[in-house]
Amino acid sequence: MPVRSSSTEHAAAPATPQELELKLALPLAQGLDAHRVLQRLLGRRLPQQLRLINIYFDTPTLDLAKRRAALRLRKDLAPGQAASPWLQTLKLAPTEEQALSQRSEWERPVAGEALSRNALADTDWWRFDAEGALFEHLAPVFRTDFDRTAWTVRRADRSVVELVLDRGRITAGAAAEPWLPICEIEIELKAGGAEAVFALAEQVAAVLPVLPARASKAARGYSLAQGTGTTVEPILAKPPQLERALTAQAAAQRVLREALGQHLDNLLRITQSADPRLVHQCRVGWRRFRSLARFFAPALVGVAPMPDRTPLAALHAALGEMRDLDVAATETLPRWAPAFVEVEGDAAARARHEASWATLRESIEAQRSAARERLLAAIESTQTSRGLLALLRWVECMPSAEPAAARDSDGAARDLAQLEAVAPAEPAPLHRFARDRLKRWWRKMQRMLHEASSEAQRHQARIQAKRNRYAIEALKGLLPDKDLKRWRDEAVQVQAGVGQARDRAMAARLAQAVGADAELVAFLRGVAAADAGV
């Protein structure tokens, strides 16, 4: 495809146009019914039907992707209408991924299926390609082809929101393979505030099982083009960079947004793969979110209370059950199998032990299969959708939230300042706030370890160690590295030691629950008791 190039002098750009959009993924199985359900929800509003073709460009070294920029050509093909002109669109994303994405966007018509440098005038293209060197090396990287059904929703508060249902595919290269499916809802703000987007999203979540998603079509296309799009890898924690000039509340929003995003991304991937790492990282994201909300609690006293998490209870119970079975099947039991099976000089005992172990393994696998079905059912429920959207809305609308009585982690009305600390009248600098909170939590962990005399108390100390580690990792760069390293190393040591003992105790309980041989259950209990120092 040719690229039309012409030199242009940069002129002072007008105010940057912004796109505010929330993406909701839905399982492919729901894609066939989504149109009917949405039309019933939106009443007499008539949808517009489009066929969209998008071609994304970049350099051979993907310079635009590295700058979180996307440059595309789009053609809209409306049934029964003449073909529209090609539109050239430049989008610039923020440095951190967000489920509620806010991007700078410029769109211009162009003559034909070719890029135009003139169409980039009055955009921010000049910031990274003032001389046009990148432009000269642009070429197609991937394309998206999908059917779009679009509804315009005008609300009583005069806000205007567009809801679209997209179904199609992403392809990379000239061949039809590889490709990725597109089956998602996008809600874009046209006029008004972000609350209008969430209000409509929550109406959708009441009738369709949806999951807030951070990955745009462009991001998925780049993954496909780079050869990673067809694999389902877990999303790991990537704490955002925090500057000392931030307020504690602004820092809280950044870290909570990223932690919740990790949880959401891995939830979506669980529907696509049974890889145990996905469940693990999904739970890590959730624990990070809860821990960091607790850590920044004194800074959030004037913020609207965190939504009730009761709608998510079934989801997180299913995640916990799945994780316990995964650890037993893939880590704990394989590690101790040789010690039980290999009975020296007694062939009969060895055969009996091998049979007992094989039976236990089959039983655990059957339990894992049933647990996965329960987990998928919990993920693909409207109750989960509503609960997740409420949390996302709380995080994204945090700066403008009205002051309200804070709540504790169980949702009961309670002043958060009474939980662990009193918020100062004048906000402390972020680095001082972080240091004081970390010291308080470190002393708390030490006290819990000193007083722990049972498995349950040791488990609580381990939970506090995890909280300490998550907070330390989120605050990197704000405090001296030597202090953070010392605190983190100690937290990791506590977490690992107590965690291994708990995993072995859990394996013994699971073995007993599935009716394993009494000798095998006794062996696993002995291993767990030795770890616990009993």
At residue 368, the pLDDT reads 97
Under DSSP, the state recorded for 413 is B
Phi-psi region of 141 (alpha: psi -120 to 50; beta: other; left: phi over 0): alpha
Reading the chain (534 residues) residue by residue, the pLDDT tens digits are 444 444 444 444 455 677 899 999 987 666 668 999 999 999 989 999 999 999 999 999 999 999 999 999 999 987 777 778 899 999 998 767 777 888 899 999 999 899 999 999 999 999 989 999 999 999 999 999 999 999 999 999 999 999 999 999 999 976 556 788 999 999 999 999 999 999 999 999 999 999 999 999 999 999 999 888 778 999 999 999 999 999 999 999 999 999 999 999 999 999 999 999 999 999 999 999 999 999 999 999 888 899 999 999 999 999 999 999 999 999 999 999 988 888 766 888 889 999 999 999 999 999 999 999 999 999 999 999 999 999 999 999 886 433 333 333 333 333 333 434 444 445 678 999 999 999 999 999 999 988 988 878 888 888 898 999 999 999 988 888 877 888 888 888 877 777 777 888 898 999 999 999 999 999 998 888 775 543
Q: Which of 348, 290, 354, 292 is nearest to 319 (CA)?
A: 290
C-alpha to C-alpha distance for 423 and 417, rounded to whole angstroms: 6
Supply φ then ψ for residue 191, to 5 degrees: -160, 140
Q: Which helix (H) or strand (E) holds 374?
A: helix 347-379
Structure tokens at 371: 């647990």
At residue 177, the pLDDT reads 67
- Choose the CATH number for 3-231 among 2.60.200.30, 2.40.320.10, 2.40.10.10, 3.40.50.1970: 2.40.320.10
Supply φ then ψ for residue 399, to 5 degrees: -60, -30
> 478 with 438: CB under 8 angstroms?
no
Q: How far is CA 526 from the centre of its chain?
A: 39
The three-state secondary structure class of 9 is coil
Kindly report the pTM of this predicted structure. Answer: 0.87
Q: Which of 132, 133, 79, 83 is nearest to 109 (CA)?
A: 83
Structure tokens at 491: 């937290």
Identify the burial level of 369 via C-beta atoms within 10 angstroms of its C-beta, where 0-12 means exposed, 13-18 middle and 19 or more buried.
Answer: exposed
C-alpha to C-alpha distance for 101 and 253, rounded to whole angstroms: 14
Identify the burial level of 296 via C-beta atoms within 10 angstroms of its C-beta, where 0-12 means exposed, 13-18 middle and 19 or more buried.
Answer: buried
What is the secondary structure of 269-296 as a DSSP string?
Answer: HHTT---HHHHHHHHHHHHHHHHHHHHT
At residue 16, the pLDDT reads 67
For CATH 2.40.320.10, list the domain ranges present in the chain: 3-231
The packing angle between helices 347-379 and 313-327, to 10°, is: 160
The three-state secondary structure class of 252 is helix
Q: Which of 241, 228, 313, 308 is nearest to 269 (CA)?
A: 228
C-alpha to C-alpha distance for 396 and 322, rounded to whole angstroms: 30
At residue 402, the pLDDT reads 37
Structure tokens at 402: 């009205």
C-alpha to C-alpha distance for 318 and 441, rounded to whole angstroms: 29
At residue 32, the pLDDT reads 67
